[in-house]
Structure 1
Amino acid sequence: MLSNYPLSEVEKAFLEESGVKSISSQIPYLLVDNFPKLGLITACRFLEWASNNPQGVISLPTGKTPEYFIKWSQYLLQNWDTKKGKEIRERYNLGNTKKPVLSELTFVQIDEFYPISSKQNNSFYHYVNKFYLEGFGLSKEKAILINSDEIPLAEGKHFREIFPDMKVDLSLRFREPKTPMEKLQQQSIYLIDQWCGEYEQRIRDLGGIGFFLGGIGPDGHIAFNTRGSHIFSTTRLTETNFETQAVAAGDLGGIEVSANRLVITIGLDTIVYNPDAVGIIIAAGEAKAQIVKDSLETPLDNIYPATVLQKLKNGRFYLTKGAAVKLSDSVDTYYRSGEWTWEKTERSVIDLCKRLKKYGHRLKLEDLKNDKYTSMIPDLSENTVSKVMESVVEKLNRGLLKEKNEVLLHTGPHHDDISLGILPHITNQLQENSNEAHFSVLTSGFTAVTNTFVIDTLLHTKKLLDDGEIQMVHYEDFFEVGYKLKTDKDVYHFLTKVAAEDEMGKKRGLCHRVIRALVTIYEVKNKQQLRETINDVISILRNSYDGEKNPSKIQTLKGMIREFEEELVWAHFGVQVKNVHHLRLGFYTGDIFTEQPDKKRDVEPILEMFRKINPTKLSLTLDPEGSGPDTHYKVLQATAEAVRQWSEEKDLSELRILGYRNVWFKFEPHEANVIVPVSLGDMSVMEDSFSNCYLSQVNASFPSYSHNGKFSTVAKRIWVSQLNDIQLLLGKNYFYLHETAKVRSSHGLIFFKDMNVEEFLAHARELEKSIEGML
């Protein structure tokens, strides 16, 4: 099929490097190894096109997805004629390409929230101006942009006057207004619709978009064309769906904001109006694998908006291998290339059980021989399935082993990652007194705490101070040294109130810790200064727009609230505060693009922690392609480098590394080598500790796109689905008739990968390279 499409010189180079020989999807795609490389291929293709189309029309994405596209584009433009720049250009067939001048290109903004002030840093208008118009040196005069402040409304009013609660009721398009305000709103909606039509016409008058680059949402949306959007849709004001709102929650300061905000977006027909356009969708990580498969392998269908790229001969998907893992071609290549491994046998048999909806013991040899992949198993016999069953049982047995005399260090990128990933496994370890357990969250995690939560907490703190309910501030030495003491007592008292079902007592416990944090951060010296500080923070937050980056001290305050929450979770099991380590790595800044991990600033603290704790087992989130938030990917970069450096200092042959995954994406059974049974009691502990301790997260302001609620519910559903997969292989009676109570009581399973240092660094090798060659 590749021969049917006109590949550019850059695409030919990347295709050759990928080793892909043929594709069978409806839209051609190119594969790269990792997230930074995805940015490189996209930048090379864009600069190639821009060189050939110096006065063309371009439309580029916003958000976190294009981070490396932007960085690589700027790097290549700045280093076009340097030694390294020339090496990259030669490697990817840009050697003879004239350096592009971007100033004559016309930029078209893809989409925008509505209403939102263009002056806000989290508006796409601001993003486009900062990273593209200024960052790429594009023409501001030529740009076709969506500035909500300038879209005409009824009586010449601003959107804050027409929509004072920032909500637009689109039912006014079709019903009679009930009040004078609704009449103005209706007139304004019609004016916005008129503006959208004119926006569309401006694009079409230029012949349409010549180069379109976009990401793909969890529901398959491109731009804000969500699942079900009309294939012939044009620029419009529209609502979004929950998945899109969940993804946008991080930009807008919470789902409670994004759920009530509409969007203006170019349409699917806008994207493909120019038949000669280059249309590229980029996707990274296994979390995107299913929607990528559906979008690439389904004929034109409004359920999968990206299928519209089938209309373009230059329509493409650029993917990391993780994002492509479920494609029929990728599955075929996996089985047909290289030697046949036991992992392939396991995967093919388990997948056959799922495909045929048959229990393992009911699979017949004939079923295996008739299947495309199990028929490839060497020495296929009547015993093949039973050997796979034995292999999976062995993984379960490993998950039942009682560990003793271990020094355990469990790490996570964010607060709650460890709990959501492997809490039931950890509870098994903590029941053994000879084990020493440490927990470390590597970033401050402040972006997950809303302004509203902090304001409410501080108002309650003021009331408690007024009512004389916070006695510690009256102690003579409190503001000198006392605020640093008795943090374990804070935690213990809080959990006592949990046990007593005393909600007001819990709130008071949080307020105690918040006062300690305020004294620490703002160097408060007395009660009067404490009150003034509380008032100042409340004032700053009340005058901030939703999603605005906070001042650094408020970021620290939010982070310390999250740290208290983490201490509460592990105190359930008697873990002391001194064994919960808060690293607050410096790359985590709250900016749209966080910095790359730095060897001194970010790797050294992890290395120091390893030296101090000297763990025999280390757990971490294994997310080498950035399937979840980019923090996961960058924390893994820093951790891998710290492990590598530590391995140069001492013999780590005995160190075991446990790679776990959580709500963002999961292991398949064949990928994991340890399976841990999860009981209803385990699930209750996780759900209860999440609800009682992660106070800032209970209302799920930043939910997973798969569930409008707590992350703990998402984790539980994953554990249950993993049990269903294994039950299909082993049979349900394996579980409820098992000789071990732990297995009999299992109603979910956790998968993880137990590795030695060499195996882990092999997984992270690309990450090591990307650290060495950081842009």
Structure 2
Amino acid sequence: MADLQTRPRIPGYPTAEESRKFEKIDTHIHDNSQEASFYVANEIAELIRQRQKQGKNVVLGLATGSTPTKMYDFLVKFHKEEGLSFKNVITFNLDEYYPMEPDSIHSYVRFMNEHLFDHIDIKKSNVHIPDGTLDKEDVREFCEAYEKKIKEAGGIDIQVLGIGRTGHVGFNEPGSSINSKTRMVRLDRVTRLDAASDFFGLENVPSKAITMGVGTIMSAKRIVLMAWGEGKSDIIRQAVEGEIRESVPATFLQHHNNCDFILDHAAASSLTRLSTPWLVSECEWDDNLIKKATIWLSHKLDKAILKLTNEDYNEYGMGNLVAEIGSAEDINLRVFNQLQSTITGWPGGKPNADDSRRPERKDPYPKRSLVFSPHPDDDVISMGGTLLRLVDQGHDVHVAYQTSGNIAVFDDEVIRFLDFATDIQEQNETLKKQFREVREFLSSKTPGQVDSPEIQRFKGLIRKGEALAACRYCGVKEANAHFQNLPFYETGTVKKKPHSEEDIQITYDLLQKIKPHQIFAAGDLSDPHGTHRVCLQVIYAALDRLVKEEADWISDCYVWLYRGAWQEWDIADMEMAIPIGPKDMERKKNAIFKHQSQKDSAMFPGNDEREFWQRAEQRNKETARKYNALGLAEYEAMEGFVRYHFQ
């Protein structure tokens, strides 16, 4: 087990040792998932090398899903570039859907082959994955044999885990016993909903799976659980700090004497030592932490900020802050003024006004505003009110649709549009032939099957037409709508390619063409398949290049990050908040409605079953409610932004 004293301290926050007041599992927090994945891969590689010198095998328990993929990439890299051999490695995978053919795109057999086994020198006889093709009556016997093979191999040396939103490890859903062994299980609806986008619809997700049991996992000599992103932060807090209970199977890991959670900052963000460090130990206070603590205290006591007292601060571990600043009144006023200055009805800056306390500068006016939209509807979903305000206030607004969004269009939509097109051009034999071929393909298409290039093109055109309709409604010139169709996205499958130089160059060229005074980009990184994350990485890479080249316009450009469809910024982090009145909220919803292929039922709803306009409305209204509860003006709704500062 790692020595707590050797872990680096996050400046201004409690040490890992101090955090033991709340944390019941050792946690390593890394800057990002890349560094964290390297950390785990390196530990595995070191054990493999050590055992090779001893002439012994290593037994690994492996997981699937998006979480361990970077770790597998590093292991493959170690093999190809550093000569790491896997000939002494025996693997046992956690689980597999049932029923499931091994060559299915959803199969964990295929997943492991694509991400690891096909790229290393592991013996095929040393690879073990639950069999999803078994007859039901043979499953019990297979599971007993699986357990026996693990024991005969000497037990699992390192078990790698991810964690589900219900707190499941493997497919051990809430209610699983700590002594459970490998078995068939029925999947929780939340688990199936989270997998729905991979299977192109909830109805296609298997209702059962074969999984190692909690008891099997707990028998491993070492356990490493990895988690990335804010979407996992709440369940990580429950697993690390909560009571042990069957309703959250990951809490059983508190009983293990050699278990570490490897997290990025986002996944760790709800842990007490990061979310409310003043409850753990005395803090090194800076402006951001003071703001965060005061907002938290206001919410905790249901008091407006200006009503907080010295006693309130003392009672909740912030006595040293009062002593440092002087009084509650001084703290309250400082934070209240900071929050007040984030609110503006002028997202492009207010001309001919004092802008010293405004988030955006007044000059130049009008501005060239460039909104990056990862999918063709993120612009209006996440910042539709701000977009409308920018247009209304006379700015030259451009929208860059980074991907085609074609995989998020239902097959029926293609048929509907082709029906219309063939009715218009009945004599066009080429179109009629195309229509017959498309209809034939779609009639026999299986869930998850890759569309033909022609169908992908049609689906992309459907989304392009919807985006143009939304632009027209919002007053954005059609010539200012830029459809980038970044190549990383164009696979026809849920799984995307890593971004490349071509993606960066397309974005760089657009930035150089427009030379914007302000950029809006999606910082909403919890979308189900990471498209937002990749799109933001591409923008950052292009901007970094422009900064290094000292482009003549880049030093006078502000970059604002928005959220909306999947999550919202914390009030303490918002640096610009745009009020939305009732009329503009209706206009925003009408703009979202232009995306008819996403209306009523989206292809990839994630873990929120509501329509996108419902999510956006609720989040915008909730932001306004929170500002109001802090003692600021009451608005119908608000959109929040965080400013990105160039390195």
TM-score past 0.5 threshold:
yes
The Cα offsets for residues 423-456 of structure 1, whole Å up to 9 and x where unpaired, read as 1111111212x3111111212222322xxx22x2
2:30/2:36 contact within 8 Å kept: yes
Which position in structure 2 is the counterpart of 1:519? none
Distance 2:479 2:307 in 1: 53
Shift of 1:332: 5.9
The Cα offsets for residues 287-338 of structure 1, whole Å up to 9 and x where unpaired, read as 3222211111113222322222223222111111222122122346689798
Alignment of 1:94-105 (within 5 A): 99=84, 101-105=85-89
Which position in structure 2 is the counterpart of 1:497? none
Which position in structure 2 is the counterpart of 1:112? 96
Change (3 A) 1:61 1:345: same
Shift of 1:204: 4.3
Distance 2:230 2:414 in 1: 40
Shift of 1:255: 2.4
1:221/1:227 contact within 8 Å kept: yes
Question: Which of the numbers 155, 163, 177 marks the counterpart of 1:230?
Answer: 177
Question: Which of the numbers 289, 294, 316 marks the counterpart of 1:371?
Answer: 316
TM-score (normalizing by structure 2): 0.87
The Cα offsets for residues 564-595 of structure 1, whole Å up to 9 and x where unpaired, read as 22222222123233221111112224366533
Q: Does 1:444 align with 2:444?
A: no
The Cα offsets for residues 126-162 of structure 1, whole Å up to 9 and x where unpaired, read as 112332332233222232222323x02xxxxxxxxxx
Q: Which runs of 5+ in 2 are unaligned?
A: 352-364
Alignment of 1:200-219 (within 5 A): 200-219=147-166
Change (3 A) 1:425 1:318: same
Shift of 1:282: 0.9
Question: Which of the numbers 200, 204, 207 marks the counterpart of 1:261?
Answer: 207
Question: Which of the numbers 539, 550, 553 marks the counterpart of 1:639?
Answer: 539
Question: Which of the numbers 547, 562, 567 marks the counterpart of 1:660?
Answer: 562
2:377/2:595 contact within 8 Å kept: no
**Counterpart secondary structure, 1:141:** helix
1:59/1:109 contact within 8 Å kept: yes
Shift of 1:628: 5.8
Shift of 1:39: 1.7
Which position in structure 2 is the counterpart of 1:595? 497
The Cα offsets for residues 724-764 of structure 1, whole Å up to 9 and x where unpaired, read as 32222116xx42xxxxxxx4xx1x32211235xxx1x23xx
Distance 1:681 1:574 in 2: 16
1:697/1:710 contact within 8 Å kept: yes
Question: Which of the numbers 23, 26, 30 marks the counterpart of 2:24?
Answer: 26
Question: Which of the numbers 121, 133, 147 marks the counterpart of 2:105?
Answer: 121
The Cα offsets for residues 61-95 of structure 1, whole Å up to 9 and x where unpaired, read as 222222211111111222227xxxxxxxxxxxxxx
**Counterpart secondary structure, 1:562:** helix
1:253/1:548 contact within 8 Å kept: no
Q: Which amino acid aligns with 1:218?
A: R
Q: Does 1:44 align with 2:4?
A: no
Distance 2:277 2:418 in 1: 63
Q: Which amino acid aligns with 1:341?
A: D
Which position in structure 2 is the counterpart of 1:79? 81
2:563/2:641 contact within 8 Å kept: yes
Which position in structure 2 is the counterpart of 1:343? 288
Distance 1:133 1:612 in 2: 45
Which position in structure 1 is the counterpart of 2:358? none
Distance 2:610 2:283 in 1: 43
Deviates more, 1:60-69 or 1:359-368: 359-368
Distance 2:369 2:192 in 1: 38
Shift of 1:241: 3.0
Q: Does 1:318 align with 2:236?
A: no
Q: Which amino acid aligns with 1:695?
A: S
The Cα offsets for residues 579-627 of structure 1, whole Å up to 9 and x where unpaired, read as 211111122243665333223x11111111112222111100125x777
Distance 1:458 1:729 in 2: 48
**Counterpart secondary structure, 1:323:** helix
**Counterpart secondary structure, 1:148:** coil
Q: Which amino acid aligns with 1:710?
A: E
Q: Which amino acid aligns with 2:503?
A: D
Distance 2:642 2:408 in 1: 28
Distance 2:630 2:271 in 1: 23
Shift of 1:207: 4.7
Alignment of 1:142-153 (within 5 A): 142-149=126-133, 151-152=134-135
Shift of 1:228: 3.8
TM-score (normalizing by structure 1): 0.74
Which position in structure 2 is the counterpart of 1:460? 416
Shift of 1:697: 5.1
**Counterpart secondary structure, 1:310:** helix
Q: Which amino acid aligns with 1:446?
A: N
Distance 1:123 1:566 in 2: 35
Change (3 A) 1:332 1:461: closer
Q: Which runs of 5+ in 1 are unaligned?
A: 1-5, 82-98, 153-187, 475-526, 736-742, 763-775
Distance 1:409 1:665 in 2: 22
**Counterpart secondary structure, 2:413:** helix
Shift of 1:405: 1.0
1:38/1:68 contact within 8 Å kept: no
Change (3 A) 1:310 1:104: same
Which position in structure 1 is the counterpart of 2:198? 251
Give the helix-richer structure, 1 or 2.
1
Q: Which amino acid aligns with 1:75?
A: K
1:361/1:730 contact within 8 Å kept: yes
Question: Which of the numbers 423, 438, 456 marks the counterpart of 1:555?
Answer: 456
Which position in structure 2 is the counterpart of 1:673? 575
Question: Which of the numbers 579, 585, 597 marks the counterpart of 1:695?
Answer: 597
Shift of 1:261: 3.4
Change (3 A) 1:233 1:570: farther
Distance 2:203 2:592 in 1: 20
Distance 1:357 1:231 in 2: 40
Shift of 1:44: 0.4
Shift of 1:197: 4.2
Which position in structure 2 is the counterpart of 1:739? none
1:284/1:322 contact within 8 Å kept: yes
Q: Which amino acid aligns with 1:431?
A: D
Deviates more, 1:554-563 or 1:667-676: 554-563
Change (3 A) 1:304 1:656: same
Distance 1:363 1:402 in 2: 33
Change (3 A) 1:651 1:557: same
Change (3 A) 1:59 1:244: same
Q: Which amino acid aligns with 2:366?
A: N
Which position in structure 2 is the counterpart of 1:428? 389
Distance 1:571 1:261 in 2: 44
Distance 2:112 2:454 in 1: 28
Change (3 A) 1:62 1:681: farther
Distance 1:332 1:361 in 2: 20
Shift of 1:696: 3.9
Shift of 1:560: 2.5
Which position in structure 1 is the counterpart of 2:625? 724
The Cα offsets for residues 222-247 of structure 1, whole Å up to 9 and x where unpaired, read as 22223443333333333323432232
2:345/2:579 contact within 8 Å kept: no
Question: Which of the numbers 349, 353, 369 marks the counterpart of 1:408?
Answer: 369
**Counterpart secondary structure, 1:423:** helix
Deviates more, 1:405-414 or 1:135-144: 135-144
Which position in structure 2 is the counterpart of 1:297? 241
Which position in structure 2 is the counterpart of 1:179? none
**Counterpart secondary structure, 2:198:** helix
Q: Which amino acid aligns with 2:86?
A: L
2:9/2:16 contact within 8 Å kept: no
Query: How many residues align structurally?
Result: 617
1:109/1:144 contact within 8 Å kept: yes
Distance 2:270 2:487 in 1: 35
2:384/2:591 contact within 8 Å kept: no
